[in-house]
Every structure is written in C-alpha cells, then in structure tokens.
C-alpha cells in the first residue's frame, strides 16, 4: 500500500488528525485491534480547557507548571492551554456530545486544578469522543481505516535497497496483517505515530491491553530521541478488586472527578489522612496522593484504602457517574451506601518520543502525537485531564505543518513515493521458525511486569533500580535472540516492545538521582535543581 499520510493508532490523537489531514490528502489509519480499543476509549474525567468567566489561561498554565515540578516546557504548556477552547470546538464540530446544564458545558474539577475546567461526557468522556470521531471517519472517502494491522517497525534507511541519505528518515512501516499472518509494507509520504502509552509494563494498570508502548519502542529502534521515561504516573484511585487475577492487568478506574465532586480518602479504619500530606487534601496532584496512599497501606499492612462518596449524595452519584456506579455495583459495592476500596495503579506514560512544538520528531518525515510523545507539556507529572487536550493540540499542530508543506512540496512527495515502491525491501522471514514456545513468551511478560511493579513503582531506590536493570537486560537479550529466529506474531511483537520500554524506564530512572514529581527515590529524597532541572534523553 502507498499513501500520502499514514497514521498509526485510532485513539484521539490519530483519529482527530486523520479527519483534518483528509481535507487535502489520502490517509491510511491502521490500528492493531478493533478500532475503538485505545486508552482514549476508557477516559473518564474529561478534557481540561479554560471555558468559563471565572477561569483564565494564566491559571491553567500555572496549575500545569506547578504539577510538572519545574521541567515543563513553558511554550508547550502555553500552547495547549491557549488552543484548548478551539480544540473543544473542534470536538463538538466532529459530533462529540459533552455534558451540559441549561445549554452550557458542565465544568468538573480534578486534582491540581485551581478552577472547575474539566469538560466531560458524564464519566464516559473517552467513549463518547471515540464514537464521534469514528462515526465521522466511517463516511470519509479520503480515509481508509484498517483494523488488526500491527505496526512492526518503521521503514528507515536500512530498509532501502539503494540508500538515500545518512540522516535518519522514515518512509512508512512494516505491518503485520493479523488476519493473514503476513507482514506488508506501507509506504507513506509522512508517517505519524499515535500509538498511545505503555501502562502494560506494570502488573496493575488502568490501561487496556493495547498499551504496550509499541510506538515508543519502534521510535527508539528507528533513532528517535526518547525523553523522560522515568515519569510514570500512578493514578491514586483504581478499584481494588479481590477477584482480579493476573491474566488481566487492566483495573477499573475511579475517576478523580469523584474526588472533585467531594469524595474523600480514608484509611481502612475510616479516618481521613490526606491533610497530613498536603493542604489540598484528597485533591492534591496525583504524585502526592498516590505516595500518601502507598505510605498508608505500608503502615497499616492493608491492601487498599477507601474512597468515601457520602458527601456527594446518591442522586448526583448515579446521575454523574453512572459507569462507575454500575461497575462497582457489579463488584458488590453500592457506592451510594458503601465506601469504595481503592489502590494506586499505573496510569499514564509522561515520557515518550521527543517532539518539537509542530509534532516533528528528530527523524525526517516522522511525526508523533498523544501519549506516545514527550512534548514538554507534562514535565515530571501530568496535570489531570491535560492529556486528551495535549493529543488534540499536537495533532492539530501536525495538521498545520503538513498543510503548509502539502501545497509547496506536493510533486516532490509523489515522486518520492513512486520511487520508494521499488526501493524498499519486502519483509523476509525465510528460514524463521513458527514459535511453539508460548510458555516462554507468557513467563517473560509476567516477569517484566513483576520486576517493574516490585522495583520501579511509586517509591524507588538505587539498589532496586540496579536489580531491575540487571534482570531486564538479561530478558531483553534473551527476547532479542528469540525474536531474530522466529516468525512474528502479535504476542512476540508486544513482548519485544514491552521489554524495550521497561528497559528505557529503568535506564531513565537510574539517570535521575533526585526526587521530582512522579520519580521518588528514597535514597535521593530531595529535588536537586542544580543538577537535574532538565529532561532525561536516551537515544539508541
Ligand atoms: P490511545 O488512545 O491509547 O490510542 C492508541 C492507538 O494506537 C490504539 O488504537 C492502539 O490500538 C493503537 N496502536 C498501538 N500500538 C499499535 C501498533 N503497534 N500497531 C497499530 N496500532 C497500534 N486523559 C485525560 O486527559 N482525561 C481523562 O479523563 C483521562 N482518563 C483516563 C482514564 C483511563 C482509564 C485511562 C487508561 C487513561 C485516561 N486518560 C485521560 C489518559 C488518556 O486517555 C490518554 O492519554 C489518551 O487517550 C491517549 O490518546 P492517544 O490517541 O495518544 O492513544
Ligand atoms: C480520571 O478521570 O481520573 C482520569 C483523568 C486523567 O487521567 O487525566
């Protein structure tokens, strides 16, 4: 296949960009599973944007910078905040139906925000966004969306028969057509990674199984700069389910909007504790709340704390949080009468492929948007509900950049694509074995998650990180050896990406010998601005 624009991923970043690019070019979107399956689809709280008279851009900027603990790129923060209202309009134009009261958007509150500014669709914001964007795409003649196409690797100089240039550049991808089992090449003028985050490197995560960090791993292999991978956000309140088994690591989220509406955290014996950690109590930024819960659980030896929703009232709970109400009820908890057992779980990958303010990576013709990136917006800790916003704003930036280029360079791009069709090697798996070693794959996957959860979680230290490094390095080498002689499958590709991303998190964490935002080192408990007021960048 060939196309002007190849978008990898069908979450908010990929779909909103595809719709905009289709105004002037042919777009292929590929996605590794069923089209709505994405982190976006599970987003609950909403999108942060300044939409009320009582709010101000400067306040949203201040909240974001404070949360990011000194290393946000202020220009990137300003960009998402100032373009926020326009992005909400774009989503509405695409058909998203947000919650309203008397015609005006209802604005919720979440941790770290000094004003009510979270635009939402009850507690199913992401599902509503996916529905709207996918329905627009289904009637768009310039967009072809292929489900069950798994991007394996980016096509770069090393995949060309006649080498073109020394600087890293991208010409499309190799993708596994999951239904036929064949690897196909897709040649593209521009390739955009919108593959989301990597919560699946941990045992317990709010992320669905697709979140295996494929884009970050592919970008790393292709020579992209990977930044700030040590900053993994743990959401303080995932539902604690005694029946969770290890085969499914996705846990159900209890949105921060529930605390925004008045719920408070309590110990197992029913006592409030957050006032001992931060003056904003249960609505402090996530790093503080997650660490406080972790510390309370360690003190009490209990496997969870409670979220008490009594102050919200039964009627409001059922009306504004119908999804959370139904889920908890199905697990035996009536939230209008009982407290909810909650624990922190891996939630958001703040680091990723480094981009500039136009969404460009350091590899020519390769762009990235959404959770796969490090744009400078989140710094050491993401402010709640800033990620859907970041994805919309940076996809829009890519659209603007490509629109300009389209009209000036159209014929050059077409010639390039024509020439590349015969110049890119086909995928060659002659002599490769079909694996029957499923036990090896599933054991490795479990071990990666265990190492990350045990040694690279909310509280870290040098000894734990060194141990994690040794184990992950060994697994990485073993998996590479196995990969090099085996025909690809989804399970094997995901395992290869998981181990790569886990390794990047560990290496980045080892480089930051201080505590900042989400990265807390018990042997370096203090923030060290003299040495670490900077991004951690790793390049292959
Ligand atoms: P995703 O939505 O994750 O989409 C990635 C896409 O890439 C998927 O379609 C996936 O299948 C595809 N893909 C991945 N790898 C490959 C591959 N190798 N080949 C082909 N396709 C591939 N943020 C907020 O701002 N507000 C919230 O209220 C909020 N709530 C959240 C609640 C939950 C439970 C979770 C998990 C996250 C929440 N977040 C929230 C975070 C936010 O949802 C994500 O950061 C955001 O949706 C990411 O969008 P994305 O388009 O970058 O990636
Ligand atoms: C939530 O609803 O608590 C999630 C919001 C977010 O991750 O931004």
DSSP letter for each residue of 174-195: EEEETTTTEEEEEEEEEEEE--
What's 149's DSSP letter?
Answer: E
30 ligand 1 Cβ < 6 A: yes
Nearest CA to ligand 1 atom 40: 43
pLDDT exceeds cutoff 90 at 316: yes
487: its two tokens: 């025909």
What's 302's DSSP letter?
Answer: -
Q: Can you tell me which residue has the tokens 């900027």?
A: 61
Q: What pLDDT is recorded for position 374?
A: 98
Nearest atom in ligand 2 to 233's CA: 7
pLDDT exceeds cutoff 60 at 354: yes
* Rounded distance between C-alpha atoms, residue 82 and residue 486, angstroms: 49
Of these residues, 117, 136, 286, 471, which one is catalytic?
286
> Ligand nearest 198 Cα, by number?
1
Q: Quick check: 64 and 386 in contact, CB under 8 A?
A: yes
353 ligand 1 Cβ < 6 A: no
Q: Quick check: 302 and 233 in contact, CB under 8 A?
A: no
Compute, in angstroms, the gap from residue 17 CA to the centroid of ligand 1.
14
Nearest atom in ligand 2 to 110's CA: 3
447: its two tokens: 């071990």
Average pLDDT on 486-514 reads 97
pLDDT exceeds cutoff 80 at 412: no
* Rounded distance between C-alpha atoms, residue 336 and residue 170, angstroms: 53
Delineate the domains of the chain, giving CATH numbers in brackets. 2-231+350-423 (3.50.50.60), 235-345 (3.90.700.10), 438-538 (1.20.58.100)
Q: What pLDDT is recorded for position 406?
A: 82
Q: What pLDDT is recorded for position 442?
A: 86
Q: What pLDDT is recorded for position 233?
A: 98
pTM: 0.97
**pLDDT tens-digit profile of 235-250?**
999 999 877 655 568 9
Query: Which of 17, 208, 256, 388 maximizes ligand 1 atoms within 8 Å of its Cβ, making it the mutation to test the pocket?
Result: 388
* Neighbour count for residue 167 (Cβ, 10 Å): 10
Active site residue 117: no
Average pLDDT on 261-289 reads 95
Q: What pLDDT is recorded for position 516?
A: 98
Confidence band for 143, pLDDT divided at 50, 70 and 90:
very high
Total residues found in the chain within this entry: 540
Q: What pLDDT is recorded for position 139?
A: 97
* Neighbour count for residue 539 (Cβ, 10 Å): 11
Q: What pLDDT is recorded for position 246?
A: 52
The burial class, CB within 10 Å (0-12 / 13-18 / 19+), for 242 is: exposed
* Rounded distance between C-alpha atoms, residue 460 and residue 305, angstroms: 21
Average pLDDT on 494-518 reads 98
């Amino acid at each position: 296949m060939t196309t002007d624009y190849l978008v990898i991923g069908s979450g908010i970043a990929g779909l909103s960009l595809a719709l905009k690019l289709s105004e002037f070019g042919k777009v292929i979107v590929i996605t590794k599973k069923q089209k709505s399956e994405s982190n976006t689809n599970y987003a609950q709280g909403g999108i942060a944007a300044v939409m009320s008279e009582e709010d101000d851009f400067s306040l949203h900027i201040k909240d974001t910078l404070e949360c990011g603990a000194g290393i946000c790129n202020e220009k990137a923060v300003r960009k998402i905040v100032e373009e926020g209202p326009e992005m909400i309009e774009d989503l509405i134009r695409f058909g998203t139906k947000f919650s309203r009261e008397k015609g005006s958007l209802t604005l919720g509150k979440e941790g770290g925000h000094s004003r009510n500014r979270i635009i939402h669709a009850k507690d199913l914001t992401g599902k509503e966004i996916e529905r709207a964007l996918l329905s627009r795409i289904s009637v768009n003649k310039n967009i072809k969306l292929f489900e069950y196409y798994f991007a394996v690797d980016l096509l770069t100089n090393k995949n060309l028969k006649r080498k073109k240039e020394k600087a890293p550049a991208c010409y499309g991808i190799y993708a596994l057509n999951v239904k036929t089992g064949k690897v196909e090449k897709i040649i593209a003028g521009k390739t955009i990674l919108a593959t989301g985050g990597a919560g699946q490197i941990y045992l317990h995560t709010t992320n669905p199984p697709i979140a295996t960090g494929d884009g970050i791993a592919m970008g790393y292999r292709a020579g992209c700069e990977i930044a700030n991978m040590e900053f993994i956000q743990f959401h303080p309140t995932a539902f604690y389910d005694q029946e969770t088994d290890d085969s499914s690591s996705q846990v159900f989220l209890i949105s921060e909007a529930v605390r925004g509406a008045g719920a408070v955290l309590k110990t197992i014996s029913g006592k409030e504790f957050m006032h001992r950690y931060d003056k904003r109590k249960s609505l402090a930024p996530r790093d503080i709340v997650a660490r406080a819960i972790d510390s309370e659980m360690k003190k009490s030896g209990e496997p969870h704390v409670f979220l008490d929703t009594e102050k919200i009232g039964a009627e409001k709970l059922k009306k504004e949080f119908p999804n959370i109400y139904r889920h908890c009820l199905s697990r035996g908890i009536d939230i209008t009468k009982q407290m909810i057992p909650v624990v922190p779980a891996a939630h958001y990958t703040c680091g990723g492929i480094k981009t500039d303010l136009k969404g460009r990576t350091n590899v020519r013709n390769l762009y990235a948007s959404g959770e796969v990136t490090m744009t400078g917006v989140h710094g050491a800790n993401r402010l709640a509900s800033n990620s859907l916003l970041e994805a919309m704003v940076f996809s829009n930036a890519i659209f603007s950049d490509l629109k300009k280029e389209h009209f000036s360079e159209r014929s050059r791009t077409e010639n390039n694509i024509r020439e590349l069709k015969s110049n890119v090697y086909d995928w060659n798996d002659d002599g490769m074995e079909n694996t029957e070693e499923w036990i090896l794959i599933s054991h490795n996957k479990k071990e990666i998650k265990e190492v990350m959860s045990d040694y690279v979680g909310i509280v870290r230290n040098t000894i734990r990180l060194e141990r994690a490094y040794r184990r992950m390095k060994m697994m990485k080498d073993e998996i590479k050896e196995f990969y090099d002689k085996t025909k690809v499958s989804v399970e094997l590709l995901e395992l290869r990406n998981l181990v790569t991303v886990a390794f990047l998190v560990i290496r980045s964490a080892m480089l930051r010998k201080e505590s900042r935002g989400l990265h807390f080192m018990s042997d370096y408990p203090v923030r060290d601005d003299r040495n670490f007021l900077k991004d951690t960048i790793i390049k292959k």
